[in-house]
């Protein structure tokens, strides 16, 4: 399909959506909006511009990773959301903590957008949204402009794929007129995290690094998430700290992941614990521990390395999101604590 025809289809769908929603009553009156800290019209500033949302959205669509979890956590079921392509335990496109929330709300699964080859603009347009949430995303300027022809789009505040979980909640909840409820959710999750951290005191003060996916057939490079990534930031929520090596490497870049050659692995001598994405068989960890260079990393040498199993829900939730945090928090902290016990 030509880009010109796609643009026409998207615009046409957007116009149909405006017409369809124009005659229905608003779901929230001004008193409701005032109590929630979300008076409309409302303008949200983000990295790709400014978005004005004229009225409290009734039809909420989300794209990319985890944005749908914010409205769901606040009792709003999206009309459409991205299908899960990682960590889906039963291949239905919905992660277990999202399924649990949908069941709790007695709601049907929203329309699932297949983003295998990028955003499905036509599918998004077909849901006739009033707003599109993308506070945690990798939207390009072109993506943003195309989506904006469908409905107001709320993009990431600073950099692509670098929005902390608290800001995901704040940005997305504000856009749907539920800013106060979003703050209450953050407070609850902060409490859950604090209780879990107290349960595993051996984590406190330990330095941790999160490796990116590693190719077992080519371990000439070590990939790791920077301080701009939510996986790395979450260590601090648990009372751990960011190693100086990772902090230094993260300076001067807004990238969420970097690599170092295996010949430079002595840079990671200050890392107490290494976690990352492994496989279901444990073969990747064996490969790393047998490699003549990588095996010299202190955290590998002493066994304080824990690779999360494949594309399991636990591995998926290491990237903290509003619904996944409470769902797997104890399991994740327990795994890190087991590694921490080996640090002397």
Q: Which sequence spans correspond to the domains of the chain?
A: 3-179, 197-340
pLDDT tens digits for range 32-41: 443 445 689 9
pLDDT tens digits for range 251-292: 989 899 999 999 998 999 999 999 999 888 888 999 999 999
Contacting residues for 98 by C-beta, under 8 A, at least 6 apart: 68, 69, 72, 84, 323
197-340 and 3-179 share a CATH fold: yes
| Fold of the CATH domain 197-340 | Rossmann fold (3.40.50)
* Residue 29 pLDDT class (50, 70, 90 cuts): very low
Determine the CATH number of domain 3-179: 3.40.50.1980
**Mean pLDDT computed over 38-61:** 96
Weakest-pLDDT range from 14-23, 136-145, 175-184, 227-236: 14-23
Rounded Cα distance between 236 and 49, Å, is 30
* Residue 216 pLDDT class (50, 70, 90 cuts): confident
Tell me the backbone φ, ψ of residue 229, rounded to 5 degrees: -95, 145
- Rounded to 5°, the CA angle 269-274-277 comes to 140
**Mean pLDDT computed over 139-155:** 99
The pLDDT assigned to 127 comes to 99
Q: Is 186 or 214 the better-scoring residue by pLDDT?
A: 186
Judge whether residue 28 has pLDDT over 80: no
Alpha-carbon distances of 284 from 61, 210, 246, 301, rounded to whole Å: 38, 15, 22, 15
Comparing C-alpha atoms, which of 291, 315, 320 is closest to residue 136? 320
Quick check: helix, strand or coil at residue 132? strand
The pLDDT assigned to 38 comes to 60
Tell me the β-bridge partners of 154: 133
Looking at the chain, the whole-number percentage of residues with pLDDT higher than 90 is 79
Half-sphere exposure of residue 326: CA atoms within 13 angstroms, side-chain side: 16
Looking at the chain, the whole-number percentage of residues with pLDDT higher than 70 is 89
Whole-number average pLDDT of the chain: 89
Rounded Cα distance between 291 and 219, Å, is 8
Rounded Cα distance between 109 and 93, Å, is 10
Judge whether residue 158 has pLDDT over 60: yes
pTM recorded for the entire structure: 0.86
The pLDDT assigned to 24 comes to 32
Rounded Cα distance between 299 and 275, Å, is 10
The pLDDT assigned to 3 comes to 41
**Mean pLDDT computed over 230-237:** 97
**Mean pLDDT computed over 212-216:** 82
pLDDT tens digits for range 66-123: 999 999 999 999 999 999 988 777 889 999 999 999 999 999 999 999 999 999 999 9
């Amino acid at each position: 399909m030509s880009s010109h025809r796609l643009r026409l289809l998207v615009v046409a769908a957007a116009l149909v959506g405006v017409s369809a929603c124009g005659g229905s009553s608003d779901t929230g009156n001004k008193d409701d909006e005032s109590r929630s800290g979300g008076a409309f019209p409302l303008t949200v500033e983000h990295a790709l511009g400014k978005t004005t949302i004229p009225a409290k959205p009734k039809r909420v669509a989300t794209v990319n990773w985890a944005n749908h979890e914010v409205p769901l956590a606040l009792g709003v079921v999206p009309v459409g959301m991205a299908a899960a392509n990682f960590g889906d335990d039963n291949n239905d496109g919905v992660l277990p903590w999202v399924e649990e929330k949908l069941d709790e709300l007695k709601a049907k699964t929203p329309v699932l957008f297949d983003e295998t080859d990028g955003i499905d603009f036509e599918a998004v347009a077909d849901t006739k949204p009033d707003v599109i949430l993308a506070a945690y995303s990798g939207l390009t300027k072109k993506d943003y402009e195309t989506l904006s022809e469908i409905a107001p789009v709320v993009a990431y505040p600073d950099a692509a794929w670098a929005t902390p979980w608290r800001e995901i909640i704040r940005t997305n909840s504000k856009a749907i007129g539920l800013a106060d409820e979003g703050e209450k959710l953050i407070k609850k999750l902060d409490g859950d995290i604090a209780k879990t951290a107290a349960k595993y005191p051996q984590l406190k003060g330990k330095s941790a690094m999160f490796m990116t996916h590693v190719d077992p057939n080519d371990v000439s490079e070590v990939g790791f998430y920077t301080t701009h990534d939510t996986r790395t930031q979450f260590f601090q929520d648990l009372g751990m700290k960011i190693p100086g090596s990772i902090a230094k490497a993260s300076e001067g870049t807004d990238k969420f992941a970097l690599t170092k050659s295996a010949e430079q692995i002595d840079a990671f001598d200050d890392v107490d614990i290494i976690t990352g994405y492994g496989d279901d068989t444990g073969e990747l960890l064996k490969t790393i521990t047998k490699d003549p260079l990588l095996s010299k990393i202190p955290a590998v040498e002493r066994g304080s390395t824990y690779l999360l199993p494949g594309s399991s829900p636990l591995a998926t939730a290491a990237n903290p999101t509003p619904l996944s945090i409470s769902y797997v928090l104890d399991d994740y902290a327990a795994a890190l604590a087991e590694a921490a016990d080996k640090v002397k």
